[in-house]
């Protein structure tokens, strides 16, 4: 916290006669007051630590190891989450399956943000014909049903894309298809938000001043306007991760998502649902991956709500 003499409040800054509170301090104070957002942030850290830290203690080879003498064993000291229909340890499977689910969510959200920001920024800044073409394209994309496209493309490309080696792990080619489809069919709402912000900000005095001194268009977009639209972009990115994880889960639950041997929380649920007797007599088979999906999505949504309120300049501190 910085201390000065008599100063004037500018933009996000708040001050008393002797103290200036920075923008970051204001955001943190607002976020900290949002109890559910704090709960979501802490829970998300724990879940990410479980998925990626757990790999330090459990190998992927062990997670994929089958032992028919241990089929559908209930939770125990040796297998805290029990075992599945071929004797694999469910806890180990949720660790490595969680890594894939989280990576799919992050990758799809990155594609969504890049496409949404790029199209929204160009449409809002240049306007006219560029705006008309890009917005008509955006409206056309709204008509494409994401679930139907996921089902068709996953079925079409099933087994046709070779496995991929990344960070010492082997991923089935279906991961690439799912990430691409989710990311490329989720950017439209963000594009509209960014376009609206650009339409408003490009008429502000500081942008007109930048034009006057000869600043290039790309510099104005990247250095002056885009930083002022980061709040909705950050919120959209967090919620995009949750939506991508859910999309992967239900497409895998239908048996057309990420294919074996790559584990995800979604295809673990699909395996658990393949027989009614398993749901009745082995509830641990579906409970743990299902609960991890619920906790992850819920935590991300709480985090997104908190960021939205914290980054909103109209919120009273």
Structure tokens at 220: 């104005």
What SS3 class is residue 14?
strand
- Cis-peptide, bond into residue 261, ω within 30° of zero: yes
* Each residue's pLDDT tens digit, 7-53: 333 344 444 445 677 878 888 888 899 899 999 999 999 999 999 99
Structure tokens at 262: 């790559």
**Distance between CA atoms of 194 and 203, rounded to whole angstroms?**
15
Instruction: Write out the residue limits of the CATH 1.10.3720.10 domain(s) in the chain.
Output: 34-311
DSSP 227: G
**Distance between CA atoms of 236 and 254, rounded to whole angstroms?**
27
* Each residue's pLDDT tens digit, 204-225: 888 888 888 888 888 898 888 8
The pTM score is 0.82
Q: Tokens 């496409």 identify what position?
A: 115
DSSP 166: E
Q: Tokens 């006219």 identify what position?
A: 128
- Residue 157, judged by CB atoms within 10 A of its CB (0-12, 13-18, 19+), counts as middle
**Distance between CA atoms of 74 and 56, rounded to whole angstroms?**
24
Strands (E), the chain: 2-3, 14-15, 19-21, 164-166, 169-171
Contact by Cβ (8 Å): 195, 131: yes
Q: What is the pLDDT along the chain (317 residues), one digit of tens a residue?
A: 344 433 333 344 444 445 677 878 888 888 899 899 999 999 999 999 999 999 899 888 888 888 888 888 889 999 999 888 888 899 999 999 999 889 889 999 999 999 999 999 999 999 889 999 999 999 999 888 887 888 788 777 766 777 777 666 667 677 888 888 889 889 999 999 999 999 988 888 888 888 888 888 888 988 888 888 888 898 888 889 999 998 888 888 777 777 777 788 888 888 777 654 555 678 888 899 999 999 999 999 999 888 888 887 666 55
Q: Which sign does the torsion angle of CA 285, 288, 291, 296 carry?
A: negative
- Cis-peptide, bond into residue 234, ω within 30° of zero: no
CA-closest candidate to residue 101, choices 304, 292, 301: 292
Domain 34-311, what architecture? Orthogonal Bundle (1.10)
Contact by Cβ (8 Å): 251, 154: yes
């Amino acid at each position: 916290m910085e201390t000065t003499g008599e100063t004037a409040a500018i933009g996000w800054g708040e001050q008393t006669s002797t103290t200036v509170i920075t923008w970051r301090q204001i955001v943190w104070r607002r976020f900290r007051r949002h109890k559910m957002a704090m709960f979501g942030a802490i829970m998300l850290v724990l879940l990410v630590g479980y998925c990626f830290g757990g790999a330090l203690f459990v190998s992927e080879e062990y997670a994929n190891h089958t032992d028919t003498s241990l089929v559908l064993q209930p939770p125990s000291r040796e297998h805290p989450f029990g075992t599945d229909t071929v004797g694999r340890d469910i806890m180990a499977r949720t660790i490595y399956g969680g890594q894939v689910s989280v990576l799919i969510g992050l990758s799809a959200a990155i594609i969504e943000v890049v496409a949404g920001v790029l199209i929204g920024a160009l449409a809002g800044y240049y306007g006219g014909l560029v705006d008309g073409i890009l917005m008509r394209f955006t409206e056309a994309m709204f008509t494409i049903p994401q679930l139907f496209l996921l089902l068709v493309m996953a079925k079409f490309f099933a087994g046709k894309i070779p496995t991929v080696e990344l960070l010492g792990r082997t991923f089935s080619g279906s991961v690439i298809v799912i990430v691409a489809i989710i990311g490329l069919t989720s950017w439209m709402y963000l594009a509209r938000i960014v376009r609206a912000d650009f339409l408003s900000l490009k008429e502000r005095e500081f942008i007109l001043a930048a034009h006057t001194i000869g600043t290039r268009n790309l510099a104005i977009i990247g250095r002056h306007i885009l930083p002022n639209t980061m709040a909705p972009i950050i919120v959209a990115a967090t919620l995009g991760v949750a939506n991508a994880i859910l999309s992967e889960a239900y497409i895998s639950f239908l048996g057309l998502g990420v294919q074996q041997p790559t584990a995800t929380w979604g295809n673990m649920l699909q395996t658990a649902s393949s027989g009614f007797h398993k749901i009745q007599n082995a509830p641990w088979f579906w409970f743990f991956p299902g609960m991890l999906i619920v906790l992850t999505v819920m935590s991300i949504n709480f985090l997104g709500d908190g960021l939205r309120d914290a980054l909103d300049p109209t919120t009273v501190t």
